[in-house]
Amino acid sequence: MRTLILIASLLCLASPLESQTHRLRIYVYPHTEEGFVISTRLEDSVKDIREVIAQRKDMTWTFTKESADLTLEVTSSAKIQAGTHTSTSVNRGILGGIVANSRTEPDSLPSLSVILRVKNSDYSQTFTRTDQRFWKDLAYRLMRDDVFKWIEANRGLLQAAR
């Protein structure tokens, strides 16, 4: 009876370890210039992307490039101009009549760009998402709609390269 319990315990311990070895490892880091991070917004986006990866059971993020199967360099995380909007106000004039004033202002939207690189390869792919969302939602959409779809389409090649 004790042997059966011991074997069951070992199987429970082996399953998580075995599944972790098959998980895709991704290193996420901010773009730097001469070792300096350009903005704290980049670091915030790195955290947001790591949180999205942590929710997946088939992948994990790592602390080093050397232990990663893929790297994601966050190259841009900023508001960009995405058009303009015009507002017009119409008022009565002091001496009668109508006074109309129009004002055109730029619209800016959050934008996030990453470069995906495959370990031991020269291959890289840039993904950019610009949307009217909060930063965390933008990171989630970029990963779900672009990066994860790319990973699923290339999973066989990635596993063979391990």
For the chain, the three-class secondary structure string (H helix, E strand, C coil) is CHHHHHHHHHHHHHHHHHHHHCCEEEEEEECEECCEECCHHHHHHHHHHHHHHHCCCCEEEECCCCCCCEEEEEEEEEEEEEEEEEEEEEEECCCCCEEEEEEEEEEEEEEEEEEEEECCCCCEEEEEEECCCCHHHHHHHHHHHHHHHHHHHCHHHHHHHC
pLDDT band at 21 (very low <50, low <70, confident <90, very high): low
Q: With a cut of 70, say whether residue 141 has pLDDT above it.
A: yes
Mean pLDDT of the chain: 84
pLDDT (0 to 100) of residue 79: 87
Which of 3.40.50, 3.30.160, 3.90.660, 3.30.519 would CATH assign to domain 23-161?
Answer: 3.30.160
pLDDT (0 to 100) of residue 9: 45
What is the arithmetic mean of pLDDT over 4-17? 43
When mean pLDDT is compared across 5-9, 47-51, 57-61, 153-157, the lowest value belongs to 5-9
pLDDT (0 to 100) of residue 136: 92
